[in-house]
């Protein structure tokens, strides 16, 4: 029984048959993000995730759900654990993000890597 494990990876009953949680799966966050995108009519987006299960599995599920709803993804990338604000990797990511031309960027990441992303923008 876990009071804090929200990873979608743990939804796999075959792999984790005895796992129980007291909070909902991260999938609900993705469901709400998709509803938000639809509500505002945002159909051309960029997605940035943080390295690790939370960010990578999260954007994978987000990609799957938004494409089923007719929302297009112009740009997708992962902020690596090794990234630092303004380093070459982040500068390159921001250049590509600007070139994608989207006005909506969904950042699906933990606090530390989200901070690296936003301090690089």
Kindly report, residue by residue over 65-109, the tens digit of the pLDDT: 999 999 999 999 999 999 999 999 999 999 999 999 999 999 999
Residue 72 makes CB contacts below 8 A (sequence gap 6+) with 43, 44, 45
Give the pTM. 0.84
Summarize the confidence of residues 7-16 as an average pLDDT.
71
> Residue 39 — left, alpha, or beta (φ > 0 → left; ψ -120 to 50 → alpha)?
alpha
Q: Is 77 helix (H, G, I), strand (E, B) or coil?
A: strand
Q: Which domains does the chain have, with CATH numbers?
A: 26-120 (3.40.50.2300)
Kindly report, residue by residue over 21-70, the tens digit of the pLDDT: 566 778 899 999 999 999 999 999 999 999 999 999 999 999 999 999 99
Q: Is 4 helix (H, G, I), strand (E, B) or coil?
A: coil
């Amino acid at each position: 029984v876990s009071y804090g494990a929200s990873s979608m990876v743990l939804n796999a009953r075959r792999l984790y048959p005895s796992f129980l949680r007291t909070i909902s799966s991260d999938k609900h966050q993705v469901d709400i993000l998709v509803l938000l995108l639809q509500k505002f009519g945002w159909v051309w987006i960029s997605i940035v995730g943080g390295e690790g299960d939370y960010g990578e599995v999260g954007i994978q599920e987000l990609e799957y759900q938004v494409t089923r709803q007719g929302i297009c993804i112009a740009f997708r990338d992962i902020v690596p654990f090794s990234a630092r604000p303004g380093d070459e990797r982040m500068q390159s990511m921001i250049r590509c993000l600007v070139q994608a031309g989207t006005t909506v960027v969904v950042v699906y990441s933990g606090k530390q890597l989200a901070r690296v992303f936003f301090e690089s923008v």
